[in-house]
Amino acid sequence: MTHFKHLLAATDLSAPARHAANRAAMVAKETAATLDLIHVASMTPLEKLKRLVTDIPVGLEQRVIDDAREEMRELAALLLKHHGISSGVHITSGPMLEELSSHADGLGADLVVLGARGASFMRHVLLGSTAERMLSRASRPMLVVKQAAHERYRILLVPVDFSSSSLRAVRNARAIAPDAEIVLLHAFDVPFEGQLRHAGVDEEIIRHYRISARQEAQQKLWSLCDEAGLPHETTRMLVLHGDPLQQIIEQEQEQDCDLIVMGKHGESILEEWLLGSVTRHVLTESQCDVLLSV
């Protein structure tokens, strides 16, 4: 069984980004993991100021670092007070994603926790290609926190495509919330259904193909459930016909889920690109937190 032993939570010290630190502390407490906090200070505003003003106070850059360190210590103290979790504090500067990846490697973190709002991760996902490269090459799971952490995760939605990443996603779901209910979702379509209909194939035959595809998917879900060791009494299995993205977003609401756990690799280069596209859309369109499994 997969276990998360060391969490690294990134924060830009904005109020929304503190949700990620709080969630990380809750997960660390539930899973008995250690926790480190990291803040990557942006020196871009200071560099712009230097181009405009020649008389810059000596030590201003160090003052920025010192102020951030003090805020991080206060955040760590709050996490200790509210969650009983002691956390290491790390302050650095430079390119955010490169620094985050470097510290995660250095600390041996097996889960990185990031806020979805503020001036940090999601801005880079939406506006830059660096984060997309990080997602595609990520060597550890990443939890993107969107909501304030009021309680432990209760219901997890795990979309699966039966590729090799599906089992890892299920195991990561169990690792992050051992006592949560898991909803396994597979969205399917009949291969070349549109072409079959355009070629005049009888609708009854297409319906038969759809029934066969659903039955095959249901059997695979049962096998995946057994292979992952999921208890049947706390696992729901859904096989739905239609677009994966639409079904994921709809079932997030229908099943009242508070976390979506997704793999990011398909069975082929084409499927990896398609699933990557679905993953990016889920990151931006879902309401709940998202755990990206690798």
Does residue 41 or residue 71 have the better pLDDT? 71
User: How do residues 12-39 score in pLDDT, each as one tens digit?
Assistant: 888 777 889 999 999 999 999 999 999 9
**Segment 189-196 mean pLDDT:** 60
Read off the amino acid at residue 167: L
Strands, E, within 16-93: which ranges?
A: 34-41, 87-93
Q: What is the mean pLDDT of the chain?
A: 81
How far apart are alpha carbons 75 and 69 in whole angstroms? 10
User: How do residues 256-281 score in pLDDT, each as one tens digit?
Assistant: 999 999 886 544 444 444 445 778 78
Establish how many alpha carbons lie within 13 A of residue 218's alpha carbon, considering only the half-sphere containing its beta carbon: 10
Does residue 206 or residue 251 have the better pLDDT? 251
Domains 6-145 and 155-293 share a fold: yes
User: How do residues 93-112 score in pLDDT, each as one tens digit?
Assistant: 877 778 888 899 999 999 99
User: How do residues 211-235 score in pLDDT, each as one tens digit?
Assistant: 888 899 999 999 999 999 998 888 9
pLDDT-derived band at 127, boundaries 50, 70, 90: very low
**Segment 103-124 mean pLDDT:** 77
Do the Cβ atoms of 291 and 259 come closer than 8 Å?
yes
Domain ranges of the chain: 6-145, 155-293
Span 6-145 CATH architecture = 3-Layer(aba) Sandwich (3.40)
**Segment 233-262 mean pLDDT:** 92
Of 11, 66, 6, 18, the C-alpha closest to 39 is 11
> What is the percentage of the chain residues whose pLDDT exceeds 90?
45
CATH H superfamily, domain 155-293: HUPs (3.40.50.620)
What does pTM read for this prediction?
Answer: 0.84
